[in-house]
Chains A and B, each alone.
Chain A
Amino acid sequence: MSITTYHKHYDVIVVGAGHAGCEAALAAARIGCETLIVTINLDTIAKMSCNPAIGGLAKGHLVKEIDALGGEMAKNIDKTGIQFRRLNTKKGPAVRSSRAQADKKAYQDEMKRVLEKQERLDIKQVLVEELLVENGQCVGIKSQTQTAYFGDAVILTTGTFLRGLVHIGDVSYSAGRAGESSAEKLSESFLNLGFEIGRLKTGTPPRVNAHSINVDQMEIQPGDENPLPFSFSTERITQPQVPCYLTYTNEKTHDVIRENLHRSAMYSGRIVGIGPRYCPSIEDKVVRFAEKTQHQIFVEPEGLDTDEIYLNGISASLPEDVQVDMVHSIKGLEGAEIMRFGYAVEYDFAPATQLQPTLETKTVPGLYFAGQLNGTTGYEEAAAQGLMAGINAALKVRGKEPLILDRSQAYIAVLIDDLVTLDIREPYRMFTSRAEYRLTLREDNADLRLTEIGRKIGLVDDDTYARFQKKASSIQTELKRLDETRLTPNAANVDRLANIIQTGELKQPTLLADLLKRPELCYEHIAHLVPPDAELPEAVKEQVEIQIKYDGYIQRQQRQIQQFKRLENLRIPDTFNYVDVHGLKTEAREKLDKIRPASVGQASRLPGVSPADISILMVMLHQQNQ
């Protein structure tokens, strides 16, 4: 069999066109690299394999950060979302998160269109069989049809397709998703390169036909009345909006599951991969929370042009007949016709401790990993990594400094730092509590945190940047106004204040900013008392209110961040010899030598590395620098 070489040489080649792959390819091409994205099937670009939604707690933060840096996910969901909600609004400004139901098919089509229109980006349906490595460097890929594509950097975003194995009851077959063949040859090539791999598992629930269910027996869950877009560039949501529904499992459902546990792929011992604790299958829920008499099911439409309905909350690997009984036991689903059965999928992942913070592998220069391959779960987590891998591959090819964010700058950085530092044993999903500096990393200020960075690397276009600058400056102006304008305690003002709040007192001239700090007052009150020259956009008002109201908290957190940065800025040279550092405990030494943290800060987060070990490191670094 002779191998032919494709006539074009690429700067960046992206393998896989899921949520990670799309962001990676778009970022690389937009930064100016000749880019190729390949996928097994062009009709599954940006496919939502599991639930039809983008965002959610902490995930919404990731989407907004992707947008601020110049990624695509936020814009795409804004164009195709059919129900928008802001979650956790009562838990404080830091943890408000956006979530939207997506029209799955529209989301895919829209993303495909964006890829197609992108300059410098070629899209190909290719089954990749082998990673080409010369002199230890990754130089390209070889297709099943024996064509070699050469590129300076290769980004692997293969999701669940490496040795993917689908389970339904006692049936198992090789597949990356139900009905889609896995990448078997590529898996071999991958293993031959010597990467350490682990096995994870994830699952998905059955989908039913909307005509066969009775939503009248369920609770309706409408979206927000005023749907707020994800992207800082989207003015308003124009899609028709639809409701979701809420129903519950019951004791009968649980009996069906318990009686058939031995037939579940998960519980019969057929699955070795570890599933996400945070997103348990219905079998897990029934076993682990045996005392609970019901579990929630969100009944979510998969799109405007389809009647397929996603039953969020009952992901299962039970045999098909049991799935039918289970679904029929649920209120409103008694006559439900299952269109696609739920299943579990096991797949290989490569622990990301084998990666640098740029997501380039430590052992094969030029090769990057992103997405579910790195042990994460979730479209948003995948997209965030894809974006960063695309950016860093492009920057490297163009001979520029890499972009490595720190934990005080973005959830994206928390995600990547965790991945390259911690031992991931179960699918990793983002939570707000993973971010130490959460109050600084809000959804609402993602643009203020990251737009300049996106602009500098060439991902933020002129229009977006101009809009951002305008917003930033009007925030500053209004902050200044509130910080300089006093409300005088004349009769009229006292009266007006008393009209707003019963207990309001105004004894002396008071800065508007100080008034706003009173718990019972919000920005609208202040704007009503002393209006600005012109009505401000909602986003500006929100920003001003948060920055003033929570100023004390924000400042205290800023001091903490300065502490954190000190350890972060203590860089450890790549060549540092841990083996010779005597005082380190063996476990710590092995860990440090394997992970080779970039900074003392990262070293301090390594499991098994104690404060004393960190002290030794600092002493040694100090001595070296003298």
Chain B
Amino acid sequence: MKFDDTITAIATPRGEGGIGIVRVSGSLAIPIACQLFHPSRDISPDKLPTHTLTHGHVIDTSESDEVVDEVLLGIMRAPNTYTTEDIVEFNCHGGFVPLTTVLELVVKSGARLAEPGEFTKRAYLNGRLDLAQAEAVAELISSKTELSRKIAIDALSGKLSEHVNRLGDSLASLLAEVEASIDFPDEDLDFMKIDTQLQTVRAIQKDLVQFLDTASEGRIIKEGVKVAILGKPNVGKSSLFNALVTTARAIVTDIPGTTRDTIEEAINVGGIPINLIDTAGIRQTDDLVEQHGVQRSRDVLDKAEFLLLMFDASQPLEEADIELLQIGNSHRVILILNKTDLHMVTQPLVLSDHCPKVRVIQTAITEEKGIDELKNAIRDELLGGEFAMAESPIITNARHQDALRRAQESLDNVIASLENEMPPDLVSVDLRIGLDALGDIVGKTTTEDILDRIFSQFCVGK
């Protein structure tokens, strides 16, 4: 039942690689290294200075001193380590057999296999990270784009927690004001007037809402957006699809087709992971637009969160185009006027007439013209034009979003109470609830099952 049992795991991805690392954390880490590691120069691992790498061999003494692998031993002593415990890392030659053999030896010597996320869990439990920071580690690992990496790093460095704590502090000060007016009515102190209280809550609420609003962007950045291209045959859909895929192929490409009819391709547009839905499958069996286009494309419309509607500049608008433009009034879209290198029969203004307030991008895909403008437009549309990596952190975690929503709700109640001139003891009820909700984010009021849920999202070895 001791908490200081020693845990171990292969910390690098499965499969062959240049090196692979077996990480060991806990009070037995250094004794295990002493037992298994035979350094090239004459120094025992327990004498090695902290945060150093030493060359040597892992030897299995139970099997007639067989050399298992040539390794670099990394040694990091408590408390300045990832988990705050003693950590050793065997930097092995990558490959399944050497790594698992070393891992087995470590387990035989008294460590136990770590559960997913257990190293990070220890960092949290040992007080090095707060809950939001620990979660940021998981997000950092799973980040698909530079933008989501930046956001995760910010959260890991504590910026998210700081922001939440700042909101919490403002709420706590207000609560203190309210409490004081209740408990010390005789002291003739200058208590905050109701108007001032209202102003204060509204300011906090505004801040909170802005913060919460980043969640939609956060979700887009983290999980990506499904985008589909719609248009008549020969308008240039395939060319656009290929142009986007070849110029913006995402690092992660292992998203399989989710239905028989469509294939998704992951691309990265300005830091946003986008799953571009190839409607080729549908198009082959039946033309989407010509055959009662809207009806037929419902599948795609349900699936895609954002649509690129394509039109042919060299031809006048047809019935099918007009129908397509209707979609633009009910969905999030960008209008693409393609083939602008040819004689332009249809002008951008004509599209705008049918579909006001929607952005029109002119392209000549075959000439590779307008593709960058289109990418910028997609990014702007998805993240809002003013989006930049602002000072305030971005919410990318559903648990945080939920807690902030509960905080927002409680502040709504506080504002309603103040506006209805409810007495301060009732105002304080919701202030306390809001404060608790914010506390949930950084782990001030958490329960074990939430913890387990959080930590099970980690890959083994972190």
Contacts and interface: CB of A to CB of B under 8 A. Distances in A.
Interface of A: 57-58, 87-88, 90-95, 296, 431-433, 436, 438-439, 519, 550, 552-553, 556-557, 560, 563, 566-567, 580-583, 585, 610-616, 618-620, 622-624
B447 A91 contact: no
Contacts of A95: 182-183, 423-425
A79 to B, nearest CB: 27
A87 B448 CA distance: 43
B446 A615 contact: yes
B423 A623 contact: no
Nearest to A550: B426
Contacts of B124: 612, 615
A619 B183 contact: no
A280 to B, nearest CB: 10
A618 B425 contact: no
Listed from nearest, the 4 A-B pairs whose CB atoms lie closest are A92-B423, A92-B425, A582-B4, A433-B179
Contact of A620 (B3, B126, B424): B3
B154 interface: no
Contact of B432 (A436, A567, A583): A436
10 contacts: A57-B185, A95-B182, A95-B425, A436-B432, A438-B428, A519-B421, A556-B429, A560-B432, A566-B447, A582-B2
Nearest to A567: B447
Interface string B179-201: 11111011010000000000000
Contacts of B426: 92-94, 439, 550, 553
Contacts of B4: 582-583
Given A560-B432, A582-B3, A619-B3, A438 B425 contact: yes
A611 B183 contact: no
Given A550-B426, A612-B443, A618 B448 contact: yes
A123 to B, nearest CB: 37
Interface string B70-101: 00000000000000000000000000000000
A624 B422 CA distance: 48
A58 B425 contact: no
B413 interface: yes
Interface in B386-422: 410, 413, 420-422
Contacts of B428: 433, 438
A481 B430 CA distance: 29
Contact of A94 (B125, B180, B425, B433): B425
Nearest to B188: A296
A615 B425 contact: no
B287 interface: no
Given A296-B186, A431-B183, A615-B443, 15 more contacts: A57-B185, A92-B182, A93-B425, A95-B182, A95-B423, A438-B428, A439-B425, A566-B447, A580-B2, A580-B3, A581-B2, A611-B131, A611-B445, A616-B125, A619-B448
A314 to B, nearest CB: 14
A624 B182 contact: no
A99 to B, nearest CB: 11
A404 B43 CA distance: 60
Given A91-B425, A93-B425, A439-B429, A623 B448 contact: no
Contact of A581 (B3, B122, B179, B424): B3
| Chain B contact residues, majority secondary structure | helix
Nearest to B183: A431
B3 A433 contact: no
Contacts of A519: 420-422
A616 B445 CA distance: 13
Contacts of B429: 438-439, 553, 556-557
A438 B179 CA distance: 11
B444 interface: yes
Contacts of B433: 556-557, 560
A163 B331 CA distance: 81
A436 B445 CA distance: 14
A325 to B, nearest CB: 25
A620 B125 CA distance: 11
B210 to A, nearest CB: 25
B420 A583 contact: no
A612 B188 CA distance: 41
B451 interface: yes
B443 A91 contact: no
Contacts of B448: 615, 618-619, 622
A466 B125 CA distance: 53
A56 B359 CA distance: 67
B423 A93 contact: yes
B3 A556 contact: no
Contacts of B126: 583, 612
Given A556-B429, A611-B446, A623 B1 contact: yes
Contacts of A563: 436, 445
B409 to A, nearest CB: 10
A611 B3 CA distance: 17
A281 to B, nearest CB: 15
B127 interface: yes
Interface in B102-139: 122, 124-127, 130-131
B93 to A, nearest CB: 33
Contact of B422 (A88, A92, A433): A92
Contacts of A431: 179, 183
A616 B3 contact: yes
A613 B422 CA distance: 38
A615 B125 contact: yes
Nearest to B5: A582
Given A566-B447, A582-B3, A92 B424 contact: yes
Contacts of A560: 432-433, 436
A620 B130 CA distance: 19
Contacts of A91: 181-182, 185, 423-425
Contacts of A557: 429, 433
Contacts of A433: 179-180, 182-183, 428
B444 A612 contact: no
A616 B127 CA distance: 10
A403 to B, nearest CB: 27
Interface in B211-258: none
Given A566-B447, A580-B2, A619-B3, A610 B127 contact: yes
A583 B3 contact: yes
Contacts of A553: 426, 429-430
Nearest to B83: A583
Contacts of B125: 583, 612, 615-616, 619
Given A432-B182, A556-B430, A580-B2, A612 B425 contact: no
Contacts of B179: 431-433
B451 A615 contact: yes
A88 B185 CA distance: 8
A619 B126 CA distance: 12
Interface string B283-304: 0000000000000000000000
Nearest to A616: B125
B41 to A, nearest CB: 33
Contacts of B444: 611
Contacts of B425: 91-95, 432, 438-439
A42 B444 CA distance: 51
A438 B178 CA distance: 13
A382 B427 CA distance: 31
Contacts of A612: 124-127, 130, 443
Given A91-B425, A432-B182, A560-B433, A624 B1 contact: yes
A614 to B, nearest CB: 8
